[in-house]
Amino acid sequence: MHGFYRYSDSAAVACFTAGTRIATATGHAPAETLRPGARLRLADGGLTTLRLVLTQQARPGPEAPAAPIRLQKNALGPGRPARRLVLSPQHRVHMPDLGGLVPAKALTVLPRIGPLRDGRAQLYIHLVLDRHAILLAEGLPCESFWPGAQAMKALAPQERRRVRAIMGTRPEPALPLIRVQEARRQLAALSAQPKMRSPSKIGTRSLGSGDSTDVREWKIAASRISPNPSDAHISTSVRANRI
């Protein structure tokens, strides 16, 4: 099923950017090439099925709150991310030392992470699953779509209904959601304790002790899935794909 609708202009929407490689059952694939039915690799080693893909072409303003966030390679430790990663400001990253998910813009208190102000248009991609989960984006554990108030407000009514039909009316977050100011406070405190953990090592702990969730243990062969030539991106609309 295909649908078209317009996002509201909101910096609060959490998305991956085009070119971000997402771990799948068969390797890594750019987020914009994924289609409903794809099997995605979870950070805990399991697999899940992609149910809905929402995309938005947007040109962020120069102000920091709206600018996408750039994480340089290894900014949070070896392989985290495995190469440069760009996220929307509100897209959450799993930070084990903080015990939850942190908006990307909160990470700008750390070295080698900051707003991307090149002014270029970004293609943003939502990946909607049956439940909120932690995916691997360039090797970094990041959330799938979370139907929070701001994200749902940015969708057209028919797309809100689709998301609710998939995720239910009372979804649970995969991990605690940490607010920006609280995350910045905790990150600053951790960074000030070099004997305990340097800024470049924050977030390198795996999701569970003794499991295979550390990015360095992933043995996923990289592969790129060619986008469907007939699926042209539309600069003023959002494309919705659903199984």
* 16-25, 108-117, 194-203: segment of lowest average pLDDT: 194-203
Amino acid code (one letter) for 237: S
Q: What is the pLDDT of residues 126-167, one digit of tens each?
A: 999 999 999 999 999 999 999 999 899 888 899 999 999 999
pLDDT average, residue stretch 176-203: 79
Residue 4 has pLDDT above 70, yes or no: no
